[in-house]
């Protein structure tokens, strides 16, 4: 059974058009509320959001849905996705909801659901919720005297700030560090600067003035030029960029050179390995991680396991096999000693612990291996499975034969946007570029033919 509403990271789409409408949000609230109503206690859901204008559309619709099936709602306002996951467990709630489209532009929005354990829902549970939505939930409405209530948790930001700070090693401070913090005009705009300031850093905050429209616009982890320029201009030691819901992290050194998720994971893994904290002798990442990263991890005597793209798939394998470190090149870093999902602030503090201890320029500390040339390009399309087109498959096969064992090719549809993502990686940059161009042209031709 294929999923109708849910993609790789919840439900996502253009705001006020299906599936991101008030009507669908109401159905999600009713169906998910019914799914997680178990036992005779007062049931509770935590709802957070990012700073998109459409949050005002979806939040009350979801609230109405949950209240109508007898579930109490705790509203926390703009909060990072990992903060909602933390609060679900802290409040002993039955589930959590984040209204966010993560790194997408403001006109998109999404609904992410978490279970009572603070983890994102499995495909099977999402299918069950979809079945309830399609079957209609009118018969599950609560009696008039059993309706839920809605309340606002005013001190939610403070709770999360203290939680994040406690993950930084005792005895360490950020005194002497000048840090540019790019909040993406998103969910962490009022939280992230305070975390680093309260640990002693000199903080320069950018992307911290959301207006409902400017989330991820010229800022954040997917548009890092401003952060890099600001670091160099201010003479800062490093820059930290989050995405719209702050579950993703990218950094840059004092020269304005980017440090991606693979490099950040390397810093954390090496320190945790010295401390004997790596469980099960390995880590989890996705098919997108650089081959140079894999070779480095194996040189440390650790295994590296790859999953499909998406932090939820990384987490699922981590839980199944008992690993406690995983992540994506894009900056989702999952450290289950602390969090049930990617947490940009927690990951940043773990990387900063290495930098504080080594007391060397970030440019020297943050690159412990050389990445293989890896190029990624996206092709926007109007629909269809272009990656399965005959001409595209021929181009992919030809590229694989030319690369041999010295590289990798990945062609896949995005799970969150109408894009075909093409990645080519190898030891010869000229060859990588040529093969990428060949595949891109084949995808574009297939798109014009459909």
Per-residue model confidence (pLDDT) at position 84: 98
Could you say which DSSP state residue 361 is in? -
Over the stretch 271-324, which tens digit does the pLDDT of each residue have? 999 999 999 999 999 999 999 999 999 999 999 999 998 898 999 999 999 999
CB 167 within 8 A of CB 194: no
Q: What is the four-CA torsion angle of 4, 9, 11, 15, rounded to 10 degrees?
A: -140
Domain assignment present for residue 165? The answer is: no
CB 247 within 8 A of CB 234: no
Question: How far apart, in whole angstroms, are the C-alpha atoms of residue 277 and residue 337?
Answer: 9
Per-residue model confidence (pLDDT) at position 67: 98
CB 98 within 8 A of CB 52: no
CB 245 within 8 A of CB 187: yes
pTM of the model: 0.90
Helix (H, G, I), strand (E, B) or coil at 283: strand
**Strand duo 95-99 + 108-114: pairing:** antiparallel
Question: How far apart, in whole angstroms, are the C-alpha atoms of residue 433 and residue 245?
Answer: 33
Mean pLDDT of the chain: 94
Same domain, 380 and 358: no
CB 28 within 8 A of CB 112: no
Q: Which helix (H) or strand (E) holds 301?
A: none
Same domain, 285 and 207: no
| Residue that terminates a domain, selected from 365, 382, 399 | 365
Q: With pLDDT > 70 as the criterion, what percentage of the chain qualifies?
A: 99
Same domain, 195 and 274: no
CB 257 within 8 A of CB 338: no
Domain assignment present for residue 167? The answer is: no
Helix (H, G, I), strand (E, B) or coil at 300: coil
CATH code for the domain of 183: 3.40.120.10
Per-residue model confidence (pLDDT) at position 434: 94
Residues 6+ apart with CB under 8 A from 2: none
Over the stretch 80-111, which tens digit does the pLDDT of each residue have? 999 999 999 999 999 999 999 999 999 999 99
Same domain, 27 and 110: yes
Same domain, 341 and 385: no
Residues 6+ apart with CB under 8 A from 44: 71, 72, 73, 74, 91, 92, 93, 94
Average pLDDT of span 30-41: 94
| Residue that terminates a domain, selected from 365, 383, 409 | 365
CB 426 within 8 A of CB 406: yes
CB 407 within 8 A of CB 372: yes
Confidence class for position 47, pLDDT limits 50, 70, 90: very high
Per-residue model confidence (pLDDT) at position 139: 56
Burial 11-32 (b: 16+ CB within 10 A, else e): bbbbbeeebbbbebbbbbbbbb
Residue 413 β-bridge partners? 420
Count of structural domains, the chain: 4
Using the predicted structure, report yes or no on whether residue 51 has a pLDDT greater than 90: yes
Assess whether 221 carries a catalytic annotation: no
Same domain, 104 and 216: no
Residue 150: C-alpha distances to residues 62, 72, 73, 125 (Å): 11, 6, 5, 25
| Domain housing 14 | 6-156
Beta-carbon neighbour count of residue 413 at 10 Å?
Answer: 17
Over the stretch 157-170, which tens digit does the pLDDT of each residue have? 999 999 999 999 99
From the list 54, 100, 102, 366, the catalytic residue is 102
Per-residue model confidence (pLDDT) at position 121: 94
**Greatest extent of the chain over all pairs of C-alpha atoms, in Å:** 70
CATH code for the domain of 445: 3.30.310.50
Same domain, 110 and 249: no
CB 270 within 8 A of CB 302: no
Over the stretch 310-346, which tens digit does the pLDDT of each residue have? 898 999 999 999 999 999 999 999 999 999 999 999 9
CB 339 within 8 A of CB 82: yes
Same domain, 101 and 122: yes
Q: What is the 3-state secondary structure (H, E, C) of 184-241?
A: CCCCCCCCHHHHHHHCCCEEEEECCCCCCCCCCCCCCCCCCHHHHHHHHHHCCCEEEE
| Residue that terminates a domain, selected from 314, 345, 365 | 365
Domain assignment present for residue 180? The answer is: yes
């Amino acid at each position: 059974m294929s999923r109708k509403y849910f993609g790789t990271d919840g439900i996502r789409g253009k705001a006020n058009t299906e599936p991101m409408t008030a009507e669908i949000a109401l159905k999600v609230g009713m169906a998910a509320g019914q799914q997680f109503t178990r036992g005779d206690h007062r049931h509770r859901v935590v709802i957070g959001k990012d700073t998109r204008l459409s949050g005002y559309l979806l939040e009350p619709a979801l609230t109405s849905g949950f209240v109508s099936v007898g579930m109490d709602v705790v509203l926390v306002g703009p909060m990072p996705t990992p903060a909602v996951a933390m609060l679900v467990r802290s409040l002993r709630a039955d589930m959590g909801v984040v209204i966010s489209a993560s790194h997408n532009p403001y006109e998109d929005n999404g609904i992410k659901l978490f279970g009572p354990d603070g983890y994102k829902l499995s495909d099977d549970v999402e299918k069950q919720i979809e079945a309830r939505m399609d079957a209609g939930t009118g018969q599950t409405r609560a009696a008039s005297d059993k309706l839920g209530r809605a309340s606002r948790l005013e001190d939610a930001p403070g709770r999360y700030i203290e939680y994040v700070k406690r993950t930084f090693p005792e005895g360490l401070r950020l005194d002497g560090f000048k840090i540019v913090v790019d909040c993406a005009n998103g969910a962490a705009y009022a939280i992230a600067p305070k975390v680093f300031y309260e640990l002693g850093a000199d903080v320069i905050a950018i992307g911290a003035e959301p207006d409902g429209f400017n989330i991820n616009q010229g800022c954040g982890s997917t548009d890092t030029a401003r952060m890099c320029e600001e670091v160099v201009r201010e003479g800062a030691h490093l820059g930290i960029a989050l995405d719209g819901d702050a579950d993703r992290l990218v950094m840059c050194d004092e020269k304005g050179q980017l440090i991606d998720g693979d490099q950040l994971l390397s810093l954390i893994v090496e320190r945790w390995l010295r401390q004997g904290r790596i469980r099960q002798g390995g880590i989890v990442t996705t098919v997108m991680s650089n081959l140079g990263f894999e070779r480095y991890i194996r040189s440390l005597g650790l295994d590296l396991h790859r999953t499909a793209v998406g932090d939820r798939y990384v987490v699922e394998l981590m839980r199944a096999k008992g690993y406690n470190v995983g992540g994506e090149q894009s900056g989702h870093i999952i450290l289950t000693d602390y969090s049930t999902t990617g947490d940009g602030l927690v990951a940043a503090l773990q990387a900063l612990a290495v930098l504080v201890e080594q007391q060397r320029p970030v440019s020297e500390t943050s690159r412990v291996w050389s990445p293989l040339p890896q190029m990624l390009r996206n092709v926007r399309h109007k629909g269809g499975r272009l990656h399965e087109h005959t001409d595209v498959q021929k181009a992919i096969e030809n590229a694989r034969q030319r690369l041999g064992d010295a590289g990798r090719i990945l062609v896949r549809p995005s799970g969150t946007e109408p894009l075909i993502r093409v990645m080519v990686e190898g030891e010869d940059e000229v060859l990588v570029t040529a093969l990428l161009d060949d595949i891109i042209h084949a995808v574009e031709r297939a798109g014009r033919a459909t």
